[in-house]
């Protein structure tokens, strides 16, 4: 009896050792889902460079708003999908994600404040037999302040007085040569028309003023009455005509 008891103890101990050596299978929920942990070490930021998750451009994190850090989680294999993803950031708190993709439910995208630490990530999945899931890559927000554009170099400052000089009309030809150009007399001033081809200097000079020394108009004819002179002229014309008639008649006779 003692020999059998000892043998039973040995078998029991050996069986326990074998069971402990076997990997622990994930605990499945009644609906076929189970929970897996993140493979990368936490806490970490989107810019942590430990080789665990590369940093990609913003195009690699679709749907992440500008100015936020993007995080892309992925499930290994092809037979497992996300059901729920719970992540916690500091600052930012907990986020629960139930919408996944693109391109499929194997991919999950979340975002956080720039520089926030991911302190926890737990996934509820369906299908397959996973132990861990992965942080594929991050898309850090571009927090580099925009360098002010090269300011346009101001135009050359105007030398005091330069603007005044440009606004002042240039000196006339007479001022630059010291001589004054005499204006050519017009036709009305010269008292007659200028001959074609003649230069203005060859035009007749202005006629003397018709005014007398006392400022009154000078007399241009006799002071005799115009009617008397007309009568005398008519008599002389008649007499001349009579004499011419008699001479012509005497020659004919």
Does residue 41 register a pLDDT over 60?
yes
Higher pLDDT, 144 or 11: 144
Q: What is the C-alpha separation between 77 and 62, in angstroms, rounded?
A: 22
Global pTM? 0.49
Which percentage of the chain shows pLDDT scores above 70? 55
The whole-number pLDDT of residue 115 equals 96
The whole-number pLDDT of residue 142 equals 86
Q: 118 and 141 in contact (C-beta within 8 Å)?
A: no
* Residues 6 or more apart whose Cβ sits within 8 Å of residue 41: 50, 52
Q: What is the C-alpha separation between 27 and 126, in angstroms, rounded?
A: 12
∠ CA 197-201-205, nearest 5°, is 110
The DSSP letter of residue 166 is H
pLDDT, averaged across the chain: 72
Residues in a beta bridge with 38: 133
The DSSP letter of residue 109 is E
CA 135 to chain centre: 41
The whole-number pLDDT of residue 232 equals 77
Does residue 185 register a pLDDT over 70?
no
Q: Are strands 33-38 and 132-139 parallel, antiparallel or unpaired?
A: parallel
Q: Give the model confidence (pLDDT) of 214-223 as tens digits.
A: 444 444 454 5
Q: 203 and 184 in contact (C-beta within 8 Å)?
A: yes
Which residue ranges make up each domain of the chain? 27-139
Q: What is the C-alpha separation between 244 and 241, in angstroms, rounded?
A: 5
Range of lowest pLDDT (26-30, 133-137, 213-217)? 213-217
Q: Give the model confidence (pLDDT) of 138-180 as tens digits.
A: 999 987 766 665 444 445 444 444 444 444 444 444 444 444 4
Does residue 246 register a pLDDT over 60?
yes
């Amino acid at each position: 009896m003692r020999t059998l008891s000892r043998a039973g103890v040995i078998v029991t101990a050996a069986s326990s050792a074998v069971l402990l050596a076997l990997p622990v299978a994930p605990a499945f929920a009644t609906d076929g889902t189970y929970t897996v942990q993140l493979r990368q070490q936490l806490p970490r930021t989107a810019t942590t460079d430990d080789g665990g998750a590369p940093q990609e451009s913003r195009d690699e994190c679709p749907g992440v708003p500008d100015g936020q850090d993007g995080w892309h989680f992925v499930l290994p294999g092809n037979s497992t999908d996300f059901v729920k993803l719970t992540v916690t950031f500091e600052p930012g708190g907990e986020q629960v994600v139930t919408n996944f993709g693109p391109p499929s439910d194997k991919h999950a995208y979340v975002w956080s404040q720039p520089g926030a630490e991911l302190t926890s990530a737990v996934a509820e999945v369906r299908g397959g037999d996973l132990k861990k899931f992965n942080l594929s890559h991050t898309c850090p927000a571009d927090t580099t302040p925009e360098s002010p554009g090269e300011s346009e170099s101001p135009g050359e400052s105007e030398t005091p007085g330069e603007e005044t000089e440009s606004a002042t009309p240039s000196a006339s030809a007479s001022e630059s040569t010291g001589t004054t150009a005499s204006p050519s007399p017009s036709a009305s001033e010269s008292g007659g028309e200028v001959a074609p081809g003649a230069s203005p200097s060859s035009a007749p000079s202005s006629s003397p003023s018709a005014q007398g020394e006392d400022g009154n108009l000078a007399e241009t004819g006799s002071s005799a009455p115009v009617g008397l002179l007309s009568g005398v002229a008519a008599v002389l014309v008649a007499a001349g005509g009579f004499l011419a008639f008699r001479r012509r008649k005497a020659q004919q006779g």
